[in-house]
Amino acid sequence: MQSDLRQAAKRIVGRRNVLSSERATSRFRTGYRTGKNPAKLVLLPGTLRELWDVLNLCVEHDLAIIMQAANTSLTGGSTPNGNYDRAVVIINTRRIDKLHYLPKQRQVIAQAGATLFALEELLKPIGREPHSVIGSSCIGASVVGGVCNNSGGALVNRGPAYTDYAVFARINSDRSIELVNALGVELGDTPEEMLTALDTSRLEGANVICNSADASDKAYKSWVRDTAATSAARFNADPRRLSGASGCAGKIVVFAVRLDTFEKPRRETTFFIKASDPDALTTLRRTFLESNLPLPVSAEYLHADLLRVSSIYGRDTIYLIKWLGTKCLPSFFALKGSFDSWVERFSILPQQLSDYLLQLLSKVLPQPIPKRFRAFAPTHPHILLLKVADDAIDGTKGLLKELSVDVDIRSTECSADEAQQVFLLRFAAAGAALRQLSVHPNLFEDVIALDVALPRCATTWFENPADNPVFEHLVPLLYGHFFCHVFHQDYLVKKGQDVALIKQALLSDLDRRGAKYPAEHNVGHHYEADAALQSFYRGLDPTNTLNPGIGKMSKRRSYE
């Protein structure tokens, strides 16, 4: 059967795009923060029609299917995990990457594997931006992946990635495959006609429908300003934003989505704000959100410890982006993954050898923290990078000046180069803890990475290690999207400690505080989906063929 499957797949996508060896499939089976698990095949379709055909082939052979694009897989949601009752096939969509701009609607149609970087480049000449921009999202992230995971990003006024418009396939309870055109564009009557129209970008003369459906979360601007609300601003299981492709987490096969674009600011200013007390930043957040000032572009919190760790263990990433640009990152990390897979064949070499080599390189690179900000950490460890645009610039200067009279905050306006550098430090934070773990395996057991949404009304957001005895076993690194009250909490677990027990203690404390988690990386295989989210997944995929086991649900056929 496996031989027949492989030959049939080769006829659809070509011999080079059917991978079966352990080495060839390794980087597709390994996420950014997750380990390897088996997969029989990795299929790389190059068109939407090929994707449709391999989907039908896999369903015909009764396979468990994992849909994958960029494979950031921060919570393991796009890689195999553990044991299944069927063979597992990964379908990677990165070759299906066309984008089409709809000028009248100021919207874009993105195919399954189109990247955020490519979308930024498409929109840049016309002065527009996508929902998220590089630096507010994962390295090499796909547009469709962001929608499927309700990803948030750092841009305060845009909320989670969301759209009512999509073309997707669902597997019904009788195992029939249905192609749904909810794109709001007339593409034809049959799956073949619809997908060929999208593949060939024959959309100029198509009838584009504009109705009451949304191509972004238009309510978020007012939602995030409600600082008295007891609910979180955004989180993955928010029932307001679970619809079709949005939040589906790979339980349907998404071929394309239609999304709003946004006017690019004419000018921007970044303020480097330091505070000795977290309450001072709480006052700043509430004062700003309750004012009449336009929402900031972003408001990124970093603890000084995280800033220092990023400058050491993310230094190579910072300079890679600065010198070569973000476009190179997906190829670089694919090459890194291939190198590590090759190294695994030699038992005498250390695992993650690439991390050791890159860390050695980092030691000869310049200090990335701008010079005049290096002395801020000791007395004012709480740092906020506040970026504002256009009409908000002068008002923000005035607000910061007034607040500094009453609370202990100090702000400095960054030059363009300084702003770029500090945001690169923030961008490198996500991988800094993992690099530290890789190069110091004798000091740490593992990394616990949580992304958490606190209630909008919460005034206590900073975890003081002195208040929780579990912290004596941890090295905490805290950063996040401060005005949205979404935090990324990375904990290096010291050697010899029980990682599962400590994680449960951390989650129990978050439950006590009314937090929602995960906030923007989705449940994957790290979190248990709540009852409403499980019901949503079952409705999308009653046979449990697609991405079985996410949210700690059953991996068996039909959830048996």
pLDDT along the chain (560 residues), means of 10: 84 96 88 77 97 97 94 80 94 96 92 92 94 62 90 86 96 97 92 92 71 90 96 93 94 97 95 95 97 96 91 91 76 77 79 87 91 76 95 96 92 93 87 90 93 95 83 92 95 95 93 92 90 95 97 95
Question: What is the CB-side half-sphere exposure of residue 328 using CA atoms within 13 A?
Answer: 11
pLDDT of 33 reads: 64
**Number of neighbours of residue 309 by Cβ within 10 angstroms:** 23
In which region does residue 115 sit, left (phi positive, over 0), alpha (psi from -120 to 50) or beta (all else)? beta
| Cα separation, 448 vs 151, whole angstroms | 20
Spatial CA neighbour of 269 closest among 400, 180, 129, 152:
400
CB 144 within 8 A of CB 254: yes
How far apart are alpha carbons 188 and 202 in whole angstroms?
11
Side-chain half-sphere exposure of 543, counting CA atoms within 13 A: 18
Give pLDDT, residue 137.
43
Task: Output the CA torsion sign for 75, 233, 170, 203.
Answer: negative
DSSP SS3 for 287: helix
pLDDT, position 269:
97
Distance CA 422, CA 299 (A): 12
Name the strand (E) or helix (H) holding 55. helix 48-60
Contact predicate 90/41, CB 8 Å: yes
SS3 387: strand
Q: What local confidence, expressed as pLDDT, does residue 47 receive?
A: 97
Contact 170, 56 (CB under 8 A): no
Show the tokens assigned to 184: 């709001």
Q: Give SS3 for 254.
A: strand
Bridge-based pairing of strands 64-68 and 88-92 is parallel
pLDDT at 357: 92
Tell me, what's the pLDDT at 136?
42
Can you give the pLDDT at residue 348?
78
- Cα→Cα distances 97→69, 199, 425, Å: 10, 10, 29
3-state secondary structure of 331: helix
Under 8 Å between Cβ of 88 and 548: no
The sheet that has 253-260: what strands, in order across it?
A: 99-102, 107-111, 253-260, 166-171, 177-182
Q: How far apart are alpha carbons 101 and 126 in whole angstroms?
A: 11
Helix axes 416-439, 353-362, angle to 10 degrees: 140
SS3 of 88, please? strand
Is the pTM here over 0.85, yes or no? yes
Per residue in 56-70, is it b (16+ CB within 10 Å) or e — as a string?
ebbbebebbbbbbbb
* Residue 224: predicted pLDDT: 97
Whole-angstrom Cα distance, residue 159 to residue 235? 10
Report the C-alpha gap between 220 and 292 in whole angstroms: 16
If phi over 0 gives left and psi between -120 and 50 gives alpha, with beta otherwise, what is residue 528?
beta
Task: Read off the tokens for 301.
Answer: 């919190």
- DSSP run (H or E) holding 119: helix 116-123
Angle (CA) 148-149-150 rounded to 5° is 100
Question: Which 8-state DSSP code applies to residue 350?
Answer: P
Which residue spans within 146-222 are E strands per DSSP?
Answer: 166-171, 177-182
User: How far is the C-alpha of 184 from the C-alpha of 208, rounded, in Å?
Assistant: 6
Encoded tokens for 351 = 């695992």
